[in-house]
Chain A
């Protein structure tokens, strides 16, 4: 059952990913200074999700993994979104 094929990602690609992550970090700090009201959490989470997606795809090599593993990670994302949404059913209507 084992699948031990390894993949190498080019330095150029890794550099681009690093640049993108730094840009996202800068963006996260910048948006905290903008008054978005109830959407401030949403924006912060969207940026965090973009960063997590990039890290998993390139740094953690999810890009090269099987469809099953991609689906499992996708399920975790969906679960995370559901938990946040359900929590906000309380905060939005309290």
Chain B
């Protein structure tokens, strides 16, 4: 790409020639920035596949009855859409891409603690991803269990469940190794003077996320191994006839998979905490509260998994307990939102594309969060369990939250990553289309869910057609917006104006070095003497 506008001579990480050249220079790279881009390009490719599968579902649901596919195909498509989007896009998304690129820079380090392990994490991510996509094409047919692989159905269906669960198992290793790398990096490689409470808030969020990745992922790993063993050897872990318990699978699965939601959303909150002070030119309000609330979310988030199982046959006492804890976990999330709003109050607000996406994140996350309280309450949960309401809530949190934060992050850091600016007008138009399309796609599903439309159903009663049609149209508007956004970003990265080192007047360390950064990020090791958001 380009060189920045700095007078100091340097070679950017994009132009640096290492031991290998060309594509091998990327595949065998140990530079955290190149590995981050490898993650970004591969995740973007898998996101594209996931979007296509989603659009196929929306076409099928645009009218009642069979439209373009048979029921079993629909089952396979929503399963693989879920597996791809969860395990290959949203879980690694922010931490593997922007965490890898900016964590070392934000803490004043040259790289992560274990660069080769970092490269290995990407390699096994690719292996796991190929396995997941391949499961769609096996002769036995794509897995039809949903991304949750619930027993006992997953132990008996003849579809390719083993390959899909093996893929999730392998992808889990990538997540664990990345988490381990980040924890050690933050403990060992902070710049002189950077104490924990001098760290920017994105590294804080990554730190909390990394602990979840390290501690929770092995649980789903062993659960999936138990499932595979059950299918192959009929051991009986989840079979009551052999002394097992099907609910044990759900407990073990959600002990990981609920904290996994925080693996997706905590880095997103970290991104928003970086963007808001920059585009309001204000010191962030409640720095310590935001930092510690990340740890609180990670900690309490470990203990609320049972709210996914209210209708599964758990004891009354357990349902009461999980409901209580679910309401507790809303507190640290609300702390963040209130502090972001307080930061904006009386700020010099600059409505640039990253900030528009950040504002959208807050709006959509609040809708997703408050509808989550309806699901956390046992009585209302039983009404809307396994309906389109859950689909809407989930997508408001994951796509409206993590997805919009990812878009905010790429618009915020793209000038630093590529050294070139993108077109603001096109970016704003794409943002508007994405925002409208997203709400048209998912909001009707809240209403459909309340009316009784079940999730994962190939067909529906005529009374649901209006909402389904609006939702399907919204899906295509959203896809159009995504296309325009990606096109603008790619054009910007290739042919945009040269970016200055600090185009947003940011205060954190990444804005103190050239765009794009050099191989080792800093000419001299930075010494930290102040709060990262010192705008006064």
Contacts and interface: CB of A to CB of B under 8 A. Distances in A.
Bound pair: A and B?
yes
Interface of A: 1-3, 76, 79, 82-83, 86-87, 89-94
A82 B305 CA distance: 12
B316 A86 contact: no
Given A79-B302, A92-B315, 14 more contacts: A1-B188, A1-B192, A3-B188, A76-B215, A79-B215, A82-B303, A83-B255, A83-B303, A86-B306, A86-B321, A86-B322, A87-B251, A93-B318, A94-B318
A82 B303 CA distance: 8
B470 interface: no
A1 B526 CA distance: 13
B251 A94 contact: no
Contacts of B322: 86
Contacts of A90: 247, 251, 306, 314-315, 317-318
Q: Is the interface of B mostly helix, strand, loop or mixed?
A: helix
Q: Is the interface of A mostly helix, strand, loop or mixed?
A: helix
B188 A89 contact: no
A89 B317 contact: yes
Contacts of B303: 82-83, 86
A18 to B, nearest CB: 25
A89 B251 CA distance: 12
Interface of B: 187-190, 192, 215, 247, 251, 255, 299, 302-303, 306, 313-318, 321-322
Contacts of A83: 255, 302-303
Closest 4 pairs (CB-CB, A-B): A93-B315, A90-B318, A94-B315, A93-B317
Contacts of B321: 86, 89
9 contacts: A86-B303, A86-B306, A87-B251, A90-B247, A90-B306, A90-B315, A90-B317, A91-B315, A94-B314
A94 B319 CA distance: 11
A91 B318 CA distance: 9
A40 B255 CA distance: 23
Contacts of B187: 1
Nearest to B186: A1
Contacts of B299: 79
Contacts, number: 45
Nearest to A1: B190
A93 B315 CA distance: 6
Contacts of A92: 315
Contacts of B247: 90
B314 to A, nearest CB: 5
Nearest to B314: A90
Contacts of B251: 87, 90
Contacts of A86: 303, 306, 318, 321-322
A1 B306 contact: no
Contacts of B188: 1-3
A92 B317 CA distance: 9
A74 to B, nearest CB: 13
B211 to A, nearest CB: 8
A35 B136 CA distance: 47
Nearest to B295: A75
Contacts of A89: 315, 317-318, 321
A87 B306 CA distance: 9
Nearest to B315: A93
Nearest to B298: A79
Nearest to B107: A1
A71 B272 CA distance: 30
A90 B189 CA distance: 43
Q: Point out which of A2, A90, A91, A93 has the most chain B C-beta atoms below 10 A from its C-beta.
A: A90
A29 B189 CA distance: 44
A93 B190 CA distance: 48
A61 to B, nearest CB: 15
Contacts of B316: 93
B375 to A, nearest CB: 18
Contacts of A87: 251, 255
A78 to B, nearest CB: 10
B132 to A, nearest CB: 27
A30 to B, nearest CB: 21
B516 to A, nearest CB: 26
